[in-house]
Amino acid sequence: MLIPVIMAGGSGTRLWPLSRALYPKQFLSLHGEHSMLQATVKRLSGIDTAAPLTICNEEHRFIVAEQLRAINELGPIILEPEGRNTAPAIALAAEVAQQQHADNDPLLLVLAADHIIEDEAAFISAVQKAVPLAEQGKMVTFGIVPNSAHTGYGYIKRGKEKESCFSVDSFVEKPDQITAQQYVDSGEYYWNSGMFLFKASRYLSELQQHRPDIAQACAASLQATTHDLDFIRVNKAEFLACPEDSIDYAVMEKTTEAVVVPLDAGWNDIGAWSALWEVGDKDSNGNVVKGDVILEDTRNCLIQGGERLVTTIGLDNIVIVDTKDALLVATKDKVQEVKIIVNKLKAQERSEATIHRQVYRPWGQYDSVDAGHRHQVKRITVNPGAKLSVQMHHHRAEHWVVVSGTAKVTKGDKTFLVSENESTYIAIGEVHALENPGKLPLELIEVQSGSYLGEDDIVRLEDNYGRVK
């Protein structure tokens, strides 16, 4: 049995302003119609696999569940209380896989949720070549055949050739430009993709041998798990005691059973906006364009439009990314430095570092269309059959105007319907709830007024999504 293990816990700050801490790049549709997470799972359709086992953090859990449900690929979702790098995360997945398939020692195909692979047939072929190796107890990693002397990746030096693979001579850190060129010219090095295939038992055995502290901490954290909806929550105290380490350092550099399968499949980890330009469909002037854009005398640019018209004149080698609340303009050779902007935003405690104006919730979404000193206006969309928590606020009142659909409103001990073009008022301190009883999305305008309008002024009394503390 082959179980895809999807690592979906990254923050994706290098693709700001589209990617932010609470909605990072793996959940965005950057290349094609599906999000990167969805594309990662869908490219496995040519292989017989079990439901994916996804690892993410608490804040992203509903996004992961909804995106996988949308493509009918929802499986168990392990929630990490805090990131501890890849070695502990994969240990959790291996333990859970063994618990859920006690009569079978499953193979784990470990994949990042934020990579692009353009030649899916070549990827499937590489995985199929790796399966018998993993079944023999080998620790398989996939090495990307380099097409340039890239200094942003670690490298794998291959050893002796074996059946469908090579032994691993060594893992090497990100090189400087001269060293990277020597690696590529030698033909003996691959980019380290961070993708692996091995038996669950084999990984746990190797981890126990080389990093018993990590193995034991992860096993202890799974002794008292809690389950709600599709989520597996590990014991927080035990997991936070786990040391932080990558699978490369903890296991792959130490094991004697590591092998590398070459992969030449148009792989890209989209580590910067320039990488998205590289893989994008270009017009006759070398521009990659998305959205409502009009160009004049513009070449070799990436222009990611939002909801408004973007126009350019006389530009070359420029990246423009427009969102509802932030605009990025940079030369392509400087886009790696966007992390400096993100750090400045964090230092100033600005919300643009972490959250979009449009925010997704398990029941739907809201868009903060206007805000002032004592007011805030939101456009709220509630999915059919969904219900917000039963809640109250200490500092704000709310006015709801239904734009389309029908709202089922609870105020105190009364429940009633509010139809299109009708409104209702929620007083400060009043217990209330909002529900969409219909089969179409419910759209409403919410006007908040009061002395404090932060999202932390929500006291949840009941919740369908396990958010009551």
In the predicted structure, residue 249 carries a pLDDT above the cut 90? yes
What is the pLDDT averaged over residues 149-155? 92
pLDDT band at 230 (very low <50, low <70, confident <90, very high): confident
Quote the CA–CA distance of 266 and 422 in Å, as a whole number.
Answer: 53
CA distances from 321 to 306, 328, 332, 350 (A): 8, 5, 12, 19
CA distances from 116 to 29, 31, 180, 300, 467 (A): 11, 8, 22, 21, 33
| Triad 177, 179, 180: Cα angle to 5° | 65
What is the pLDDT averaged over residues 124-132? 97
Backbone angles phi, psi at 165, to 5 degrees: -160, -175
pLDDT band at 469 (very low <50, low <70, confident <90, very high): low
* Cβ 164 vs Cβ 197: under 8 Å: no
Class of domain 2-268: alpha beta
Backbone angles phi, psi at 220, to 5 degrees: -65, -35
Instruction: Please state which CATH number belongs to domain 358-461.
Output: 2.60.120.10
33-37, 88-92, 98-102, 165-169: which has the minimum mean pLDDT? 98-102
Burial class of residue 255, CB neighbours in 10 A (0-12, 13-18, 19+): buried
pLDDT band at 224 (very low <50, low <70, confident <90, very high): confident
Q: In this predicted model, what pLDDT tens digit does every residue of 255-314 receive, in sequence order? A: 999 999 999 999 999 989 999 999 999 999 999 999 999 999 999 999 999 889 999 999
What is the pLDDT averaged over residues 346-351? 94
CA distances from 435 to 45, 268, 317, 425 (A): 36, 42, 48, 15
**385 CA to centre of own chain:** 26
Q: Would you say the pTM of this structure is higher than 0.85?
A: yes
* Cβ 3 vs Cβ 50: under 8 Å: yes
Q: In this predicted model, what pLDDT tens digit does every residue of 402-428 receive, in sequence order? A: 999 999 999 999 999 999 999 999 999
Q: What percent of the chain has pLDDT over 70?
A: 100
Quote the CA–CA distance of 348 and 117 in Å, as a whole number.
Answer: 37
Q: In this predicted model, what pLDDT tens digit does every residue of 384-395 receive, in sequence order? A: 999 999 999 999
Q: In this predicted model, what pLDDT tens digit does every residue of 314-340 receive, in sequence order? A: 999 999 999 999 999 999 999 999 999
pLDDT band at 10 (very low <50, low <70, confident <90, very high): confident
Q: In this predicted model, what pLDDT tens digit does every residue of 233-246 receive, in sequence order? A: 999 999 999 999 99
pLDDT attached to residue 101: 87
pLDDT attached to residue 331: 98
* Cβ 139 vs Cβ 257: under 8 Å: yes
Q: Which residue reads 């190797």 in tokens?
A: 206
pLDDT band at 102 (very low <50, low <70, confident <90, very high): confident
What is the pLDDT averaged over residues 24-29? 95
Q: Where are the domains of the chain?
A: 2-268, 281-339, 358-461
Q: In this predicted model, what pLDDT tens digit does every residue of 166-206 receive, in sequence order? A: 999 999 999 999 999 999 999 999 999 999 999 999 999 99
Mean pLDDT of all residues in the chain?
95
